[in-house]
Homo-oligomer: A and B are copies of this chain.
Amino acid sequence: MNKGRTEAFSDGVLAIIITIMVLELVVPEGHELADLFNDWPKLLAYVVSFLYVGLYWNNHHHMFQAVKRVSGAALWGNLHLLFWLSLLPWLTAWVGESHFAPTPISVYAFDLVMCGVAFTLLQRALIRADTSNTLLARAVQGGTKEKVSTALYIVAILLPLLGQTAAYAAGILLLGVGLSWVVPDPRIERVLAEAGGSGE
């Protein structure tokens, strides 16, 4: 199966996820600057979630460049990833409305773990879908950064159990892990460059 429609559908879903989060931002009742920032936890949660959905779009884009064909299993792997990402707008609103309360931060971090797991499963399904194309398999060897990120997400799930201050630390940790992924996976670019062209 050709990868074109899977990319188009994923682009659509990710575009909607990243955009509907703004619908959760309540229009301020007053007309002063202070009224705008009254709701700063929702604004901050919006920025962090925008970063994460942007990250996933970026990495999805990179991964699919090393891919030529998809399989039925990869289509479902992709839907599974989109499912966990689709919960982000709802959990973002919960984190924001609760002003970074411990449980919402733990649940948000849990959702990020599930997104990471789903991304890895999708990667494996894509590698199996086209064994003649070893670009992706070579590109993702190792994966130390994924393992460290997952460990840090799990820390961010557990930290809030220690109380509100630890919950804030968990929030900062999630922001930091996100920022560490802003530079897309260089391994894929390197392997693509060595192969003298993209999978497209």
Contacts and interface: CB of A to CB of B under 8 A. Distances in A.
A104 B31 CA distance: 6
Interface stretch (A1-9, A113-121, A125-133): A1-9
Work out how many copies of this chain go into the complex.
4
The contact size tier of chain A is 35 or more
Contacts of A79: 50, 54, 57-58
Given A9-B57, A104-B31, A65 B15 contact: no
A183 B61 contact: no
Contact of A198 (B2, B76, B89): B2
A17 B82 CA distance: 13
Nearest to A106: B33
A90 to B, nearest CB: 5
A33 B61 CA distance: 34
A11 B75 CA distance: 14
Interface in A52-72: 54, 57-58, 61, 64-65, 72
A128 to B, nearest CB: 15
A45 to B, nearest CB: 11
A83 to B, nearest CB: 6
A82 B31 contact: no
B198 A31 contact: no
Given A9-B61, A27-B97, A58-B76, 10 more contacts: A2-B65, A5-B7, A7-B8, A8-B11, A11-B12, A18-B86, A19-B86, A27-B94, A50-B79, A72-B189
